[in-house]
Amino acid sequence: MPSVHLLDHVAGNIRSLVNAIEKLGFTVEWIKSPEDILQAERLIVPGVGHFGHCLSQISQGGYSESIKHHVSAGKPFLGICVGMQALFEGSEEDEAVPGLGLIKGRLNRFRDSDKSVPHIGWNSAKPVNLDSEESKTFYGLHPNSKYYYVHSYAVPYRKGFLEEEGWTVATAQYGNEEFIGAIGRGNVFATQFHPEKSGQAGLRVLEAFLSNQSSHLVDQAVELKVQPGLTRRVIACLDVRSNDAGDLVVTKGDQYDVREKPGAVGGGQVRNLGKPVDVAKRYYQQGADEITFLNITSFRNCPVQDAPMLEVLRRASETIFVPLTIGGGIRETVDTDGTRVSALEVAKLYFKSGADKVSIGGDAVTAAEDYYSSGKVLNGTTAIEVISKAYGCQAVVVSVDPKKVYVDDPKDTSHNTIKTEFPSDKGQQYCWYQCYIKGGREARDIDVRQLVTAVEAMGAGEIMLNSIDKDGTNSGFDIELVNDVKSHVKIPVIASSGAGDPTHFREVFFKTSVDAALGAGMFHRQEYTVGQVKEYLAKEGLLVRPLEP
Ligand code: 1PR
C-alpha cells in the first residue's frame, strides 16, 4: 500500500485524518524526528489550536528546516489548518513567533463586530479565476462544495497578490471578509479547512493530494448551484447511556426523564432508540453537519481508560467524516484505583479516540460560580481554560441546561430577566433562566447569561444551548432564550431542545442569528431525516451544505 508521512506535532484529533487516509487506501508513517522527513515522499503537516504553540513545537523539534527542504526538493506537501497557516510569515495570534515564510502574508483575527468568532462550520473553497485551467481542476475543489472550517485567524485575500507569484488560490467568504481557504503551487498544497472532516467533498481533495493529482477534475460534484458563505449547521445529538440490561444505547428524555412512562410499553425502562455507532452513521449518511454524543450518566464506576464512549468514538470516526463532539464527564475525575485524572487528561483520551470537540456541562457551572465569587478573576486551572489552551478554544463547547423561572417583576430577583411573550399560568410576564447540573436534577444559583459570559471569558469556543422546558416536547426551540444568549456572547451558539419538525429549524434560523441547530428525538424516532430538514431549509432560502455523492 502506498504511504504518506504525517507530522504529529500538535494536540488535536489526528485519528480522523489517519482514518480518512486509510479509507483512501494509503498507510500512515509517523515522523518522529527531522531526519524522518528526508525519507518522506509525501508529507502532511496537520494542526489545530494556537499558531504560536504549533510553530514553536515545529521549530523546537528541529522540523522547520526539514520541512523547507522537503518543499524545495519538489516533494508533495499538504498543510492542514494551522499546518497551512505555518507556511505564511506570521499571525496576529502570536506576533512573537514567526511562520515558515514560504508564502507571503500574515493571518489576522476575524472581526467579531458582525459575526461569531471562531468561524465554525461549512464554507466554500472556491478557486479564484475559474476560467483558468488550474483553477477548474485544483485538487478536486469544487465551487459548489462546502468544507469544514474551524478557526479564528485567517489570511485575508488580496486579489492578484499571491497569484502574481504563481499560487492558485481558493477563497471563502465570512461576513464581509474574504479569506484564503486553500492555496497551492507546484508540489505545495494547503487548506485552511479540514479535508478529513469535510465528508465526501473533503475525501476527494485528500485523495487528489495522495494520488499526486493537483489537477483533478471533478465531474460528479453537486449540480445544485450553491451560494458562497457559511452554511447553517444542522447537528444530530445522541444522548447515550447504559440501559437496565447494561447495553449502551441511544436514549432520549422528555424534559430530561429518559425512562418510559409507567403504563407505556417498557414502562419504567430506559428508552432505547438504537446503538450509538449505527445511529450516528445513519445521520452522517443523511447529511448531518456534525454529530454530538452526550454520555448522560458518565459511567461513573468504570476505569477512565475503558470508558465505553472511547470505543464508540473510535468506531464512529472510522466511517464518519464530519466533526464529532463528546460530552458527559469531562472534568477532573478520581479513577477506580484512586488515581486522580485531570480534566485535560480525560479530554485528551477523547481527542485521541476521534473527538474533535469536548462538551463540558456541570464543571462549567462550578467554574462560573467560582469566577463570580472571586470577582471575575480567571484562575487558569479550570477544565475550560486548560483544555482550550492546549487544544484551542474551538475544541471546547459548553453545554448549558437552563430552565425558566417566572417572576412578577425583574426587581424580585438578582438574576438577569427577560420580558416573555409566553407568560406563566399565573400571568407573570418576566422570567430568568436558571442553570442546572447533574442531568437537570440540581438547580444552581446562576442564570444563563451569567454562565455563558463567564465561560466565554474562560476560553470556551461554542455554546450548546439546551432547554429543560423544551427538551423532548417537539414544540420548537426557545427563541427568546436563544436571542438572549446570542446577544451576550460572540462565540457561536447551537440551539438545542424542542425540535419536532423541519419548520422549527426554519423558525430558529429566521428569528435568531444562531449559528447551528440541533435535533435529537425527531431524528431518533425517524419522523424526519436530517436530509429532509436540510432540503426544507434550502427551499426556504437558507444556505445549507448539500449532500454529495
Ligand atoms: O455535566 O459535563 O457530565 O455533561 C452531561 C451532559 O449530559 C450535559 O450536556 C447534559 O445536557 C446532558 N444530560 C444529562 N442528563 C440528560 C438527560 O436527558 N437526562 N441530556 C442530558 C440532555 C439534552 C440534549 C437533547 C436536546 C434535544 N439532553 O442533549 O439532545 O434537548 O432534544 P430534542 O430535540 O429531542 O428536544 P456533564
Residue-wise pLDDT for 523-542, tens only, equals: 999 999 999 999 999 999 99
Work out the mean pLDDT of the chain and round it to a whole number: 93
Q: Is 244 a catalytic residue?
A: no
Q: Which residue has the higher pLDDT, 224 or 207?
A: 207
> d(Cα 170, Cα 180) in Å, to the nearest integer?
6
Residue-wise pLDDT for 6-19, tens only, equals: 987 665 678 889 99
Q: ipTM value, please give it.
A: 0.98
Q: Is 401 a catalytic residue?
A: yes
What distance in angstroms lies between residue 311's CA and the mean position of ligand 1's atoms? Answer: 20
> What domains can you pick out in the chain, each with its CATH number?
3-210 (3.40.50.880), 233-539 (3.20.20.70)
What distance in angstroms lies between residue 399's CA and the mean position of ligand 1's atoms? Answer: 8
CB of 238 within 6 A of ligand 1: the answer is no
The crossing angle, in degrees rounded to 10, of helices 530-539 and 502-511 is 50
> d(Cα 262, Cα 295) in Å, to the nearest integer?
24
CB 100, CB 68: distance < 8 Å: yes
What 8-state DSSP symbol labels residue 83? H
User: How many Cα atoms sit within 13 Å of 487 on the Cβ side?
Assistant: 9
pLDDT of residue 298: 62
pLDDT of residue 11: 57
Q: Which stretches does DSSP call E strand in 3-80? A: 3-7, 27-31, 43-45, 77-80
At 271, is the pLDDT very low, low, confident or very high (cuts 50, 70, 90)? confident
Residue found by looking up cell 494542526 in the block: 47
Residue 72 has pLDDT above 90, yes or no: yes
CB of 520 within 6 A of ligand 1: the answer is yes
At 302, is the pLDDT very low, low, confident or very high (cuts 50, 70, 90)? confident
Mean pLDDT of 424-432: 97
Mean pLDDT of 389-412: 95
Residue-wise pLDDT for 158-195, tens only, equals: 999 999 999 999 999 999 999 999 999 999 999 999 99
All cell numbers assigned to 18: 489517519
The number of helices, as runs of H, and strands, as runs of E, in the chain is: 17, 28
pLDDT of residue 299: 58
CB 385, CB 393: distance < 8 Å: no
Residue 548 has pLDDT above 60, yes or no: yes
pLDDT of residue 48: 79
Cis, peptide link before residue 492, omega less than 30° from 0: no
DSSP string, 217-235: ---SS--S---SSPPPEEE
> d(Cα 24, Cα 47) in Å, to the nearest integer?
20
Residue-wise pLDDT for 30-48, tens only, equals: 999 999 999 899 999 998 7
Q: What are phi and psi of 233, to 5 degrees?
A: -90, 135
Q: Of these residues, 81, 393, 431, 435, which one is catalytic? A: 81
pLDDT of residue 377: 95
> d(Cα 492, Cα 453) in Å, to the nearest integer?
12
Q: What are phi and psi of 53, to 5 degrees?
A: -65, -45
Q: What are phi and psi of 177, to 5 degrees?
A: -110, 130
> d(Cα 70, Cα 77) in Å, to the nearest integer?
8
All cell numbers assigned to 236: 444530530
Residue-wise pLDDT for 188-215, tens only, equals: 999 999 999 999 999 999 999 999 887 7
Q: Is 239 a catalytic residue?
A: yes
Percent of the chain, pLDDT > 90? 79
Largest alpha-carbon pair distance within the chain? 76
What distance in angstroms lies between residue 461's CA and the mean position of ligand 1's atoms? Answer: 19
Ligand 1: which of 497, 507, 523, 524 to mutate, most ligand atoms within 8 Å of CB? 497
Mean pLDDT of 53-72: 93
CA dihedral 348, 18, 517, 534 (to 10 degrees): -170
Residue-wise pLDDT for 471-493, tens only, equals: 999 999 999 999 999 999 999 99
Q: Which residue has the higher pLDDT, 96 or 220?
A: 96
Q: What are phi and psi of 174, to 5 degrees?
A: -130, 115
Residue 449: how many CB atoms within 10 A of its CB?
Answer: 21
DSSP string, 500-537: -SHHHHHHHHHHS--SEEEE-HHHHTTSS-HHHHHHHH
> d(Cα 183, Cα 192) in Å, to the nearest integer?
9
Residue 41: how many CB atoms within 10 A of its CB?
Answer: 13
CA dihedral 156, 157, 159, 163 (to 10 degrees): 120
Q: Which burial class, exposed, middle or buried, applies to 271 when counting CB atoms under 10 A from its CB (0-12, 13-18, 19+)?
A: buried
CB 88, CB 195: distance < 8 Å: no
Residue found by looking up cell 442564570 in the block: 447
Residue-wise pLDDT for 305-338, tens only, equals: 778 899 999 999 999 999 999 999 999 998 888 8
Mean pLDDT of 95-108: 97
pLDDT of residue 415: 98
Q: Is 272 helix (H, G, I), strand (E, B) or coil?
A: coil
Q: Is 30 helix (H, G, I), strand (E, B) or coil?
A: strand
Q: Is 52 helix (H, G, I), strand (E, B) or coil?
A: helix
pLDDT of residue 223: 63
All cell numbers assigned to 393: 478554544
| DSSP collapsed to 3 states, 427-445 | CCCEEEEEEEECCCCEEEE
Mean pLDDT of 493-515: 98
Q: Is 403 helix (H, G, I), strand (E, B) or coil?
A: strand
What distance in angstroms lies between residue 298's CA and the mean position of ligand 1's atoms? Answer: 12
Residue 132 has pLDDT above 80, yes or no: no
For ligand 1, atom 12, the nearest C-alpha belongs to 296
For ligand 1, atom 6, the nearest C-alpha belongs to 328
Mean pLDDT of 374-396: 94
pLDDT of residue 527: 97
What distance in angstroms lies between residue 332's CA and the mean position of ligand 1's atoms? Answer: 20
CB of 327 within 6 A of ligand 1: the answer is yes
Ligand 1: which of 235, 292, 294, 299 to mutate, most ligand atoms within 8 Å of CB? 294
Q: Which of 139-148, 230-239, 423-432 has the lowest mean pLDDT?
A: 139-148
Q: What are phi and psi of 497, to 5 degrees?
A: 90, 120
> d(Cα 525, Cα 534) in Å, to the nearest integer?
18
> d(Cα 424, Cα 321) in Å, to the nearest integer?
44
Q: Which burial class, exposed, middle or buried, applies to 55 when counting CB atoms under 10 A from its CB (0-12, 13-18, 19+)?
A: buried
What distance in angstroms lies between residue 256's CA and the mean position of ligand 1's atoms? Answer: 7
pLDDT of residue 226: 77
CB of 521 within 6 A of ligand 1: the answer is yes
CB of 330 within 6 A of ligand 1: the answer is yes
Q: Which of 134-138, 198-202, 290-294 has the lowest mean pLDDT?
A: 134-138
